Structure 1
């Protein structure tokens, strides 16, 4: 079953200029996390700056200038909960994962695995959205979904 057709856009809304720009990701080790995104996901550093005791950067995927991750690095008072598997992670509130649309989930996962990226969930089909999904994580247990339309 495919996702139904989207409702018509509401261009008359006073908020119609609102569009996704970036997602902020808080990590304990700025340099290691920035380097992980560069080495594992081929992300590009768009801009980097300090903010008090924190270090920040905008990171963009290899060939996409329309979505950024704002990396915020510095000491964490409350570390992220570590989960044994994907199902266990679904019981926690708040942001869960970042999804990246890919042309081929299996090939992308194979490449990430060759780069030492931790695989959390092997490819599986979700018929309700007509997608082949897989999940990986960074060393700080942030989850990333790979999604292929099928």
Structure 2
């Protein structure tokens, strides 16, 4: 078998409906560090680069009147974002203190790992997946 072509996932790009609201959510509520921000006047579009970890980024875009997601969560395309956390209860307590509501914690019947979901300002499902990431 030949070696993998790819080393890691570098970034995920999201299009938001309200740039300032989503910028606040991802940078202030979730705590992702802002790397770079630009307004592209020719497209009437913002682009915000956020650091999840030193090797993983999130790109947040805004465009005038983006179409809504057709259905959820089984629409073709991105189903959800998933973030690894070491302690799901501690992470949920911090998110609740920041005004973020989540579903109940469940256990994956295949892996035995605990997980839950919450939603971003555009109703995009975000998963917390508990695993030892040390």
What is the TM-score normalised by the length of structure 1?
0.77
Change (3 A) 1:53 1:21: same
Do residues 146 (structure 1) and 134 (structure 2) align? no
Q: 1:69 aligns with which of 41, 58, 77?
A: 58
Q: Secondary structure at the match of 1:35?
A: helix
Cα deviation for residue 142 of structure 1 reads 1.1
- Cα distance per residue 1:32-72 (max 9 Å; x no partner): 211111221111100112232100011112xx111111000
Instruction: Give the CA RMSD over aligned residues.
Output: 2.1
Structure 1 residue runs without a partner (length 5+): 1-7, 83-88
Cα offsets for 1:64-102 (capped at 9, x unmatched): 1111110001323412357xxxxxx34322211111000
Gaps of 5+ in 2: none
Corresponding position of 1:126:
108
Q: Is 1:112 paired with 2:77? A: no
User: For the Cα contact (< 8 Å) 1:29–1:75, is it kept in 2?
Assistant: no
Q: Which has the larger radius of gyration?
A: 1
Offset of 1:18 from its aligned partner? 5.2
How many Å separate the matches in 2 of 1:17 and 1:137? 29
Partners of 1:143 and 1:34 lie apart in 2 by: 16
Question: Is the 2:118–2:125 Cα contact (8 Å) retained in structure 1?
Answer: yes
Specify the alignment match of 1:5 in structure 2.
none
2:55 match: secondary structure: coil
